[in-house]
Structure 1
Amino acid sequence: MKTWVKIVIGAVAALVVVVVMALVVLRVTIDPDAYRARIDAAVTDAIGREVDIDGPIRLSLLPWPSIRFGAVTVANADGFGSQPLARIRAGHVTLRVLPLFTGHLRLGTLNIRGLDLALSRNANGQTNWQSIVHRLSAAAPAARPSPDGARSRHHTGLPLSSLKIGAVEISRADVRYDDDAHDRHYRLKGADLETGRISNGHPFRLEAGGDLSWPGSHMTAAVHLVSRIEPNVADRFYRFSGLSVNVLARGPAVPGGKQEANLGASGDLDLEAGRFGLDDVSLQADGLTITGNVDGTGLHDRLAYNGRITVAEFSPRSTLQQLELHPPKTQAAAALTSASFDAQFEGGAHVVHFKQIAAKLDKSTLSGTVNVRDFADPHYGFDLNLDTLDVDSYLPPGSAAQAQTSQPAQTGGGAAQKAAEFDLAPLHHLRMRGQLRIGSLTTANLNIHNALAQVSAADSVLRIAPLTADIYGGTLKLNGGVDASGPRPAYALFGHFRHVAIEPLLKDVADSDRLEGNADVAIDLHATGRQVAQLKRSLSGTAQFALNDGQINGFDLVGMLLAAHEQAHGKSARAASANGTTEFDHLGGRFTVDHGMASSDAFTIDAGPLTGGGEGQYSLKDNRLDYTLRLAVAQDAGQRLAPLAGLTVPMHLQGALLSPSYSIDIQKAAHTGSPDDGSTIQR
């Protein structure tokens, strides 16, 4: 064997002997408890927080030098109370001795049992751990020249950039997080954490889990996390990849009592530059797949971020079923079978702005922008466009046909519906302003096109001012609002319809072809109450209408007058045709509404040689009409009206608005001094 090989082997053997003898001497002569005060001081200086080791400290040499310690307490930051930031019941750490001679810190396995950690954020947004993070992230001590030319060490904190740990094991941890700035409180119980070999600049595997809960949630969530972490402590830069978080929620507040979700992501955090990023974010739960990414800057001063969020196409009906919730029964079988969402976003600490929104529900597509300001007391702004929406498709089966009748709906109607109170509680905290455009809208069988609504809400008041739209060949412009600031909510609606084709409108809304013509309508109405019945009783204001160039189908007014005239003169009366019509050039009226009762003395009809006016009342509460018309026949009336020329005939209408009964008093028309001589014809 060559001489130099023998020398090397001998030197190594001698070094091993020296190290072993040194360890034995250390074990025999050194009591770690004697250095408790120095250890406390050293750790306190390293993290900038008082540390107290209460339990025993024991040194062990085999198979590796290691230290076992008992209870350790880390003081909280000033202003966060007397409760410790952290408390460790017991721990164990193995040491690598030789690297210490080269100025490096090497540990084997760090085992911590029974960790209690109390993390806090105060109302000003300050945390009780940030100062420790900054101190531990400081660079290693740097050599600086002294005035006499010698080099000295300038302490800037614990040299974590040189730290290597074989593994970290934490068991039975209890972590509390209290965020007073947002009144949020969380607790992670029974938590465990394991890592692979930790070395600055090299990735390691992290696995952790525990049971998460928070007050008032009536649920707990078993959380399991796995990720690959790459720390660069000196540069304060951290990267993670392959993040997988599994959450299993249980409790009475969880649909079905138990639900599971999985989250995946990768990203990085640059504390030096104040930058962060999240990529390949994916959340899967109950048929939903949500993906996205976000990049941000200004962690230390002005936070700014931008990104994208996408919800892949899914079936809302199927998702509700997976959540063990009963999907609503709808008129359209295809309703709630397809939905998706995609949007870009940008924002800061107190605002987020969603843009290029593309949301779909069945055949409807919503686009535009939404922003939220002041998250603690949100204010919503929006500018949205909806291409088409059939509201009736999402109502209970039979609702469309029910809307065309005067009877209460079979689902939730009748007395129960009238007595039900409107829940206006959301208005008390709602702040928003924006506009919504709808290309085509169907609601209560009413078809509306090119609608534009300007909406605002603040101080418990909701306003729509105005709502404009194209409707049945004409236009509408309405202003409305709900004021829930007082003990009794108030409602207001005013505006007008112009040149609306009344026949197709009534056909869709009431399944009636009784009336034709072009309508102009103006309303100014208000009401108070929390129930439908209260609204009807309190409704007040004015309403007026004018119909031009139209006709009343199934209502032969001339035939009715002739039949009454012939019967009054002892002739065989010819029945008015049920298929007859009454054509008119103008039909109009003005109503004053007072607590649910509409009164009018300004009704007019102009049907060529037949004109008239009238007065009476209509009760909204009971759908009851009580109205008297005075129909005047021109002196030169010819053809069918010739027998009635020059007469003014009273006609009394009673009953439902769209199908009233009537009575005609021809005798009273001929003899105005006889109020009732038995010559009244009733139908």
Structure 2
Amino acid sequence: MRRAGSRIWISLAAVFVVILGTLAIAPRFVDWSQWRDDIAGTVGTLAGRAVAIDGGVRLTLLPIPSLVADGVRLGEAAGGRAPYFARVGQLEARLDLAQLLVGKIAVTSLVFINPEVDLVDRLDGLLPDSALPVEQVRFVGGSLGLPWFEEGERLTRFDGEVVFNADGKGWRITGDFHHRSLPWHIEAALSPGPTSAQLGVQLGARGGGPTLRLTGQVKTDTGAFSGRLRGDGDRASELFFALGLPAPQPAKGRLTLDAKVEGDNDIIRLEGLTAALSDQRFQGDIKLDWTGENPVLVVELATSRLDVEAWQVNRSPALAPRKGNIRIDGRIDAKADTVEWNNGFARAATFKAALSGDILTVTEAHAQLPGSADVAGSGTFDLAAPHGFTARIEGGADDPRPALTWLGVTLPIPEGRLRRVSAVADLSGDQSALDIRGIDLAFDGSRLTGDISLRRGDRKQATLALHIDRLNIDAYLSAPDLSGPEPLAWMTDWDGSARITVDAATLKALPVPNMRLQAKLDKGIATLERLEGGTLSDVYLTLGGSIDRSKWPAVVDLRGDISLPDTYRVGQLLEIPLPGVLGRPLPFKTALSLNGPANAARIALAPAWGKVQGQVLGPLDLIARTGRVDVEFDSASSIAVLAQLGDIARRNDEIDTPASLRGVFSFGPGRWELREIKAVLADLAASGQVGLHEGKYIGGLGVSALHVDGWGGPLTTGNDLNAWIKALPESQIALRFGSIDAGNIGMNDVSATLETAPGTLSLGQITGKSFDGQGSGKLTLTAGDEQVSLDGALEIKDANLATLGGVLFQDPEVAGRLTLTGTAKSQGGSLLSLWRGLKGEAGLFAGEGKLPGFDIAVARKATEAADNEERNSALVFSLGGGVTSFKAGKGRIEINDGVARLLQFDLSFDGGNARYSGAWPLAGGPLVGQVRYDLDGLPPYGFQAEGQSGRWSRRVELPK
């Protein structure tokens, strides 16, 4: 019995194995292609798209009955524009075994193995719209490309399933996928109801990161959706990374998101959106309208604070654009109470724009920048290459510096400039061109108008056509920096032309009217076609030529003519203050030529000034701003030269002589020097050198002779002296004169140190010979409100009394030496009035000496005379000859209104003394003097004299 039972089980097992083998092997010998349409129809119903099976179809009964199709292709949905919806490596349709046994195909679930889905348009057909004849759909190793993805970007490694409700109207999705190497998990469910279905979607990154949740109701009849979108979690950077965007600093913090979601067919709205990334918060509404051919995105956002620097990131290279990418139109209306950036902030920022295809139209862009600058603009921008645009900008500020600093723009303009700025301009261009038209820029009371065009190609090009009504050149433009290995290198990179006019400019505080510049630049060669007009208020220039920067050092070739009615202004322009008479108008004109390499160019000037002709020749180093030129000026008439000077004029009875000036002029930054001076003018012959170093004149001059009374003019006789001294520069110059005479006083072998500063002139360390004695002293002139003050001190030692006496009398009456010490002061508007207004006093001190022409022995005999007649006769004879020795002498001189008065000068001798007195006009005129002898036992007697220029009259005065 046991054996029979065992055989039965063995037989059953064998039959079962045979059946299993048959079920496993038999389908391989059957052609199942007749079921191809049934499988394709089932899948097509699921996808809502046409389905084609390109590969084989086979039936497997074990372990689960299924039809397997290779190479399945899902075509586009109705109205779509995609070439295909998906390609599936292998599709497995699992069958209902009971239905299969009765010869029917009933699919219970579908398995898509390695599906590749590409959506290059909208998301139509991604989920079924009606009940399905399957209970479950699974995806293994799938990938998905979405319309907004860049080429090569996909969702990969998608493993998940869709489970449908029994009635086929509800479903639930769970799955995992990777995007940009990050794992994600998604869950979604649709639960049907009588009038609406409950929809819930949850998306989050595995391993941490924020989670997005969408919940709401779907109307059964219309398909309209109403619900909320919420997001919460740390590391929002995961979302930015998933979208292919670099994550800003706020994304590394916490994300919160809340918005009401309304959907109606092809319109989706996020209303009452509030979002926060770290401490950055936004409110607004977003709308996506896909009722037309292209989606329209409308964004309205506002924030109280936008930190721009926090949102700045280093953008990684983008992927290639996806072919057939969808077009998204839209509008944006963004506002921010404050925009923080670069340690500052802008206020009331507004941006309104509309996007239509590749055209972005900005209707309003406005912000209040730091420093109360107001900037606004509008325009149209083509986002497709070559990115053409047209725009209009306008703005204004009392002081734009804070705004420019906030924008990272540094202007080399001194403080106090760029005030009350307003600007309007029209812009247009593309990637290779920029046109700025209708420029109207007002700043600091000036106005600039015109056009600027910039082009970028094989070479950069610029075209300027500008007009400026007034411009302070020093305040806005600096001299080009020629230092470094490649100065002015930009000239080799740019081509272009410029036409610039300035009605009234200012240079070195001087007016510069009617400037006209026309030039062009071509491959490093700048051609100055026209530079003319007033370069100063009365200086006129015409200049042309070229600067070749195609090599370095550049080659210069300039020629022109300059007319200079006022050389004093030229001195100001070159920062070389011209003192005194040299600071007066000296009109001359010159032809100019400058050519050669920039580091060794040769300058040639041919100046002409009245009857004065000259030439200036020599090399210049324009790079180092140094030079050395030979200077020569000649005139046949000194009188004509002096007349042209204006301030200095000779007497008409002077004999005319030639005039000339020779020297070597060298200069460099902050200095100049005129060496080897040889000058002849009238009776003056001078030599030496003078230079300007660090703003101060230094040097030394030697002059043969100076006859002050022979020179005239406003400085001497007018009222220009005060203004002249106020305009003096700082100087220290050593002077030496062979002789100086002024009126009735003179010195020879004179040396002094001239020191000047604005408002003062001082002659210090004066030494010389006067009355055959050694003289020294100091003289200072100080400008006042209206007049000049003079302070002087003089000391003469070992003066020859005979020489001094010869000033008063025709024949020297005194022999000996004396010392004179005194001070003087004066006020006046000219040199002559100073000289005539001298006030002061001096003391005279003499040692032993002799009085020739006075015989004291004869005078004493007068004491023995019997009567007055005999006495007076003896006194007269005492004045006729002989010599009397004196022991010592002292006296005092008083100066008042330019007249030196010898109040008394007493010489003592045995038996009496001699007292001298007199008046001496220092500025010239008759001299008067007298001497009184006071002897023991006799009344005073003597004589007085009056005369000038050696013509004397003498009269003896005897006691009555």
Does residue 263 of the first structure (1) align with residue 586 of the second (2)?
no
Which residue in the other structure is 1:389 paired with? 705
Aligned to 1:635: none
- Tell me the TM-score normalized by structure 2: 0.43
Task: Report the Cα offset of residue 603 of structure 1.
Answer: 0.6
User: 2:446, 2:469 within 8 Å by CA — same for their partners in 1?
Assistant: no
| CA displacement at 1:453 relative to structure 2 | 1.4
Deviation readout 1:171-230 (Å, 9 max, x if unpaired)? x83355334xx42332225x36366xx53255x75342543165xx5x4x4432232432
Q: Is contact 2:495-2:524 (8 Å) kept?
A: no
Residue 450 (structure 1) shift: 2.9
Note if 1:185 corresponds to 2:511. Answer: yes
TM-score w.r.t. length of structure 1: 0.57
Deviation at 1:243, TM superposition (A): 1.5
Q: Tell me which residue corresponds to 1:332.
A: 654
Secondary structure in 1 matching 2:763? strand
Separation (CA, whole Å) in 2 of partners of 1:261 and 1:522: 52
Q: Which has the larger radius of gyration?
A: 2
Is 1:283 matched up with 2:607? Answer: yes
Q: How does 1:216-235 map to 2 (within 5 A)?
A: 219=538, 221-232=539-550
Partner of 2:523: 200
Matched, 1:127 2:477: yes
Two-structure CA RMSD over aligned residues (Å): 5.8
* CA–CA separation in structure 1 for the residues paired with 2:781 and 2:691: 23
What amino acid does structure 2 have at the position aligned with 1:305? T
Match of 1:456 in 2: 755
Three-state SS of the structure 1 residue aligned to 2:492 is helix
- Is 1:478 aligned to residue 777 of structure 2? yes
| Distance (whole Å) between structure 1 residues aligned to residue 643 and residue 741 of structure 2 | 27
Instruction: Select 2:935's aligned residue among 601, 618, 631.
Output: 631
Q: Which runs of 5+ in 2 are unaligned?
A: 1-379, 393-408, 412-421, 571-584
For residue 502 of structure 1, the aligned residue among 783, 802, 813 is 802
Counterpart in the other structure of 2:885: 585
Q: Distance in 2 between matches of 1:429 and 1:304?
A: 27
Residue 240 of structure 1 aligns with an amino acid whose one-letter code is: V
- CA deviations on 1:312-337 (whole Å, 9 max, x unpaired) are 332443446679999532553035x3
Question: Higher RCO, 1 or 2 (CA under 8 Å, sep at least 6)?
Answer: 1
Q: Which residue of 2 aligns with 1:345?
A: 666
Q: 1:517 aligns to what SS in structure 2?
A: coil
Question: In 1, are the aligned partners of 2:661 and 2:677 still within 8 Å (CA)?
Answer: no
Query: Could you tell me how far apart the structure 1 residues matched to 2:648 and 2:738 are?
Result: 31
How big is the shift at 1:498?
1.7
- Are residues 175 and 311 of structure 1, via their aligned partners in 2, closer, same or farther at CA, if it must alter by over 3 Å? farther
Task: Give the distance between the partners of 1:611 and 1:104, measured in 2 at CA.
Answer: 106
> Aligned partner of 2:523: which letter?
N
Query: For 1:161 and 1:228, how far apart are their aligned partners in 2?
Result: 14
1:423 aligns with 2:739: no
Distance 1:574 1:458, change over 3 A: same
Q: Give, in angstroms, the shift of residue 664 of structure 1.
A: 3.3
Q: Partner letter of residue 187 of structure 1?
A: P
Q: Would the aligned equivalents of 2:801 and 2:818 in 1 still touch at CA under 8 Å?
A: no
- Rounded Cα–Cα distance in structure 2 between residues aligned with 1:237 and 1:175: 34
Cα deviations by residue, 1:322-375 (Å, 9 ceiling, x for unpaired): 79999532553035x3121303434433x4344443333356443333233454
Contact 2:801 2:814 in 1 (8 A): yes
SS in 2 for 1:502: helix
Q: Contact 1:536–1:595 at 8 Å: present in 2 too? A: no
Matches for 1:155-174 after TM superposition, within 5 Å? 161=492, 170=499, 173-174=501-502
Verify: 1:380 aligned to 2:700, yes or no: no
Note the C-alpha offset of 1:261: 1.3
What is the Cα deviation at residue 619 of structure 1? 9.2
Contact kept in structure 2, 1:385 and 1:436, CA below 8 Å: yes
Quickly say closer, same or farther: Cα 1:628–1:602, change in 2 above 3 A.
same
2:827 paired residue number: 529
Report if aligned partners of 1:522, 1:545 keep a CA contact under 8 Å in 2: yes
- 1:484 touches 1:490 (CA, 8 Å); kept in 2? no
Q: State the Cα distance separating 1:389 from its structure 2 match.
A: 1.6
- Pairs within 5 Å for 1:462-611: 462-471=761-770, 473-484=772-783, 489-500=789-800, 502-503=802-803, 512-515=810-813, 517-530=815-828, 539-546=839-846, 551=851, 568-569=867-868, 571=870, 574=873, 576=876, 580-581=880-881, 583-586=883-886, 589-593=889-893, 596=896, 603-606=906-909, 611=912
Structure 1 position 266, deviation (Å) = 1.3
* Structure 1: distance between partners of 2:889 and 2:687: 42
Give the 3 Å change call, closer, same or farther, for CA 36–453 of structure 1 in structure 2. farther
Taking the aligned partners of 2:491 and 2:839, their CA distance within structure 1 comes to: 75
Question: Matched residues, percent identical?
Answer: 11
Write the letter of the residue equivalent to 1:199: D
The 1:282/1:385 distance shift into structure 2, 3 A limit, reads same
Q: Deviations over 1:357-405 (max 9, x none)?
A: 3333356443333233454xxx33233333x124269447xxxxxxxxx
Rate the CA distance shift 1:239–1:52 in 2: closer, same or farther, 3 A.
Answer: farther
Partner of 1:62: none
- SS of the residue corresponding to residue 317 of structure 1 reads helix
- In 2, the alpha carbon distance for the partners of 1:610 and 1:470 equals 35
Q: Within 2, Cα distance between the matches of 1:226 and 1:611?
A: 88
Q: Report the AA paired with residue 612 of structure 1.
A: N
Q: Is the 8 A contact 2:931 2:942 kept in 1?
A: yes
User: Which whole-Å CA distance do the structure 2 matches of 1:601 and 1:511 have between them?
Assistant: 16
TM-superposed deviation, 1:587: 7.9
Residues 472 and 651 of structure 1: is their aligned pair in 2 closer, same or farther, counting only changes over 3 Å? closer
Distance 2:596 2:953 in 1: 73
1:366 paired with 2:686, answer: yes
SS of the counterpart of 1:332? coil
Q: What per-residue deviation string (whole Å, max 9, x for no partner) do you get for residues 626-663 of structure 1? A: 8753124xxxxxxxxxxxxxx44422666859867553
Q: Give per-residue Cα distances to partners, 1:154-187, cap 9 Å, x unaligned.
A: xxxxx8536566xx584x83355334xx423322
Q: Secondary structure at the match of 2:958?
A: strand
Alignment check: 8 A CA contact 1:590 1:603 kept: yes
Counterpart amino acid of 1:651? Y
* Residue of 635, 640, 664 corresponding to 2:958: 664
Equivalents in 1 of 2:711, 2:663: separation in Å?
26
Residues 1:659 and 1:587: Cα distance change in structure 2 (over 3 Å): farther
CA distance in 2, matches of 1:284, 1:539: 46
Cα contact 1:339–1:362 (8 A) shared by 2: no
Residue in structure 2 matched with residue 244 of structure 1 by the alignment: 560
Q: Is the 8 A contact 2:592 2:603 kept in 1?
A: no
CA distance in 2, matches of 1:573, 1:648: 10
Residues 605 and 242 (structure 1), Cα distance of their counterparts in 2 relative to 1, 3 Å cut? same
Aligned twin of 1:88: 450
CA distance in 2, matches of 1:352, 1:69: 45
Q: What is the DSSP-based 3-state SS (H/G/I as helix, E as strand, rest coil) of the residue aligned with 2:810?
A: coil
Distance 1:443 1:567, change over 3 A: farther
Secondary structure of the 2:828 match is coil
Higher strand share: 2
CA contact (8 A) 1:137 1:160 kept: no
Which of 731, 737, 741 is the matching residue for 1:432? 731
In structure 1, how many angstroms separate the alpha carbons of the residues matched to 2:904 and 2:740? Answer: 36
Q: Is the alpha carbon distance of 1:459 and 1:230 closer, same or farther for their aligned partners in structure 2, counting shifts above 3 Å?
A: closer
- Offset of residue 526 of structure 1: 2.5
Cα distance change, pair 342–490 in 1 and its aligned pair in 2 (3 A): closer
Q: How does 1:643-658 map to 2 (within 5 A)?
A: 647-651=937-941
Partner of 2:6: none
CA gap of 1:446–1:601, structure 2 versus 1, over 3 A, is closer
User: Which blocks of at least 5 consecutive residues in structure 1 are unaligned?
Assistant: 1-31, 42-46, 58-66, 140-158, 397-410, 633-646, 666-679
Letter in 2 for 1:631: L
